Amino acid sequence: MLFKQQVLLRQKLLVLGSLAIGSLLYLVARVGSLDRLQPLCPIDGRFGPRGQAEIPLRALQFKRGLLHEFRKGNATKEQIRLHNLVQQLPKAIIIGVRKGGTRALLEMLNLHPAVVKASQEIHFFDNDENYAKGIEWYRKKMPFSYPHQITIEKSPAYFITEEVPERIYKMNSSVKLLIIVREPTTRAISDYTQVLEGKERKNKTYYKFEKLAIDPNTCEVNTKYKAVRTSIYTKHLERWLKYFPIEQFHIVDGDRLITEPLPELQLVEKFLNLPPRISQYNLYFNATRGFYCLRFNIVFNKCLAGSKGRIHPEVDTSVITKLRKFFHPFNQKFYQITGRTFNWP
């Protein structure tokens, strides 16, 4: 009897051992496949109207981790070649506007696994010295990506710089252009607030917003003040339309991106011909910061820098009324050109 029990015990141990070894081999094979960066699943949508190859979506941890290492220069040329990584020119550019929410838009779009962002503003097209370095210099400023991912960069000064539309057109006449706007008076005050903070940090004095925005000689809106000029969106857009059709632009509501980001991001996904991948799971409201933060996965969250969401100084209500009255006809024309209407006063 004891002998039979020993035999049965040995048989059970053999079965359990086989199962354990089998499970271990499966895990090793699984990890090996992940190390080779095989796609977990294909995308069901395609980039562009011509049915180009499917975009291979990799696991987010590899996109955030391994690509980050390559951007830091920690990869050999052989590793880059093996993983089929490239530095490609952007297929979409956030061209403006300053203090409209360009950084928030770029970071939120980076939630999409088919999007790779340039971390810094390149200032290639608006800076003569950088532009003289050539298109290859610009391309090498781009992050490593997989061939079917979309590289996006943002430089808000592009929107208001006269030479930029022609220069971007010469690079790629079919590039997609993103413009994020806020209510013009609010944007102008935000612009002023950022400059004011910089002055205060250097212990320098600065004029009040009212004195800059209103011409003291005429008591009318001072159109020479850059913060005011930038908010005349239609004037700048008309210059871009000399080179690009309106269909190549997408207007993002910067005010709504703050309070209700997901619908705005879904519109951008559609404009870029990307399958919907950004969900409410990726966005959560941070009550301490007062705006939405980003959730890439179960362990990696990110909020924008503390410099975002600055408290604006109080501005004389009569000046605000004057500015809104000034911007009103320009806003109406902007609505007409873009086909998008905002609830601006």
Examine the residue annotation and report whether 333 is marked as an active-site residue of this protein. no
Binding site, residues?
Answer: 99-103, 182, 190, 292, 308-312
The 10s digit of each residue's pLDDT in 69-121 is: 555 555 566 566 656 789 999 999 999 999 999 999 999 999 999 999 998 99
Task: Show pLDDT as tens, one digit a residue, over the chain (345 residues).
Answer: 544 455 455 555 454 555 454 444 444 343 333 333 333 223 333 333 333 334 444 444 445 555 555 555 555 665 666 567 899 999 999 999 999 999 999 999 999 999 999 989 999 999 999 999 999 999 999 999 999 899 999 999 999 999 999 999 999 999 999 999 999 999 999 999 999 999 988 888 899 999 999 999 999 999 999 999 999 999 999 999 999 999 999 999 999 999 999 999 999 999 999 999 999 999 998 888 778 999 988 777 888 876 566 788 999 999 999 999 999 999 999 999 999 999 998
Strands (E) located in 21-174: 41-42, 56-57, 86-87, 92-96, 115-117, 144-145, 150-154
DSSP code of residue 159: G
Domain boundaries, the chain: 83-338
Q: In Å, how far are 121, 179, 193, 241, 285 from 233, measured between CA atoms?
A: 21, 10, 20, 12, 30
Contact in structure between 265 and 278 (CB atoms under 8 Å): yes
> Which 3 state secondary structure label does DSSP give 180?
strand
The DSSP bridge partners found for residue 96 are: 179
Catalytic residue (one of 99, 117, 176, 322): 99
Contact in structure between 116 and 149 (CB atoms under 8 Å): yes
Which residue has tokens 């011909």?
Answer: 273
Q: Are strands 144-145 and 86-87 parallel, antiparallel or unpaired?
A: antiparallel
How many angstroms separate the CA atoms of 197 and 75, rounded?
39
Which residue has tokens 């000034």?
Answer: 326
The pTM (predicted TM-score) of the whole model is 0.78
Q: Which CATH architecture has domain 83-338?
A: 3-Layer(aba) Sandwich (3.40)
Q: In Å, how far are 81, 124, 194, 290 from 78, measured between CA atoms?
A: 5, 29, 44, 45
Closest Cα to residue 102, out of 184, 157, 173?
157
Binding site for 3'-phosphoadenylyl sulfate, residues?
Answer: 99-103, 182, 190, 292, 308-312
